[in-house]
A and B are shown apart, each in its own frame.
Chain A
Amino acid sequence: DAGVIQSPRHEVTEMGQEVTLRCKPISGHDYLFWYRQTMMRGLELLIYFNNNVPIDDSGMPEDRFSAKMPNASFSTLKIQPSEPRDSAVYFCASSRLGQYEQYFGPGTRLTVT
């Protein structure tokens, strides 16, 4: 299995631009998670899906952030408009029902200037 795939690996954009991060979970996994990691705040759970349905989005920082999962093999995290404080590494992870452990992708390093 290729593991969780994220794209792009690096994104540099200017403040005010729209940013879209993409994730392909491991085939057969029922859960998909989006995390953000910064030095100041550590690892934060933003949102997670079960069978493509958003279950808990309480970690989404504000309305500028949105996430979708149109099918079992694809999810996006969108930031519109982006701000410098959104600079972080964004991880996607997936897990299987009853397995509990999550498998992480390599992350997208986002820099907003």
Chain B
Amino acid sequence: AQSVAQPEDQVNVAEGNPLTVKCTYSVSGNPYLFWYVQYPNRGLQFLLKYITGDNLVKGSYGFEAEFNKSQTSFHLKKPSALVSDSALYFCAVRALSGGYNKLIFGAGTRLAVHP
């Protein structure tokens, strides 16, 4: 069965420092991976996806993610964090059974960027 794990409930980082939000996955076959962000009282917003190609994927708001097949990871990164990046971040993987476009979401990681 497909699954994603976000091992950290919360990540704290100082403004201006690099940030990493971790995600590991378990799928059979090639993974289709996604990152979403949720600001307070808002819906989830799509940030970026990995389907195939370069292992480093660039997305919205200066975020990028690195796909690592050997470590089955898809960590979200940003070189310099902003206070406005504080939000809830979800990693997701496309389910290969039960539906073509079904996504399985992780539990979420709360990112807190301190001034």
A: residues with CB less than 8 A from B are 4, 31, 42-43, 45, 48, 50, 55-56, 91, 93, 95, 97, 99-107
Contacts and interface: CB of A to CB of B under 8 A. Distances in A.
A50 B49 CA distance: 22
A106 B43 contact: yes
Contacts of A101: 34, 46, 49
Contact of A100 (B32, B98, B108): B32
A112 B99 CA distance: 32
A104 B98 contact: no
Contact of B51 (A43, A100, A106): A100
B44 interface: yes
B42 A106 contact: yes
B105 A104 contact: no
A4 B42 CA distance: 12
B98 A56 contact: yes
Given A42-B107, A43-B108, A100-B94, A91 B43 contact: yes
Interface of chain A: mostly helix, strand, loop or mixed: strand
Given A50-B99, A101-B34, A102-B46, 6 more contacts: A48-B102, A56-B99, A95-B101, A101-B46, A103-B46, A106-B43
B61 to A, nearest CB: 15
B43 A43 contact: no
A56 to B, nearest CB: 5
Nearest to B36: A104
Nearest to A92: B43
29 contacts: A42-B105, A42-B107, A42-B108, A43-B44, A43-B90, A43-B108, A45-B102, A45-B103, A48-B101, A48-B102, A50-B101, A55-B99, A56-B99, A93-B43, A97-B101, A99-B101, A100-B34, A100-B49, A100-B101, A100-B103, A101-B49, A102-B46, A102-B101, A102-B103, A104-B36, A104-B45, A106-B42, A106-B43, A107-B43
Nearest to A94: B101
A106 B44 CA distance: 8
A35 to B, nearest CB: 9
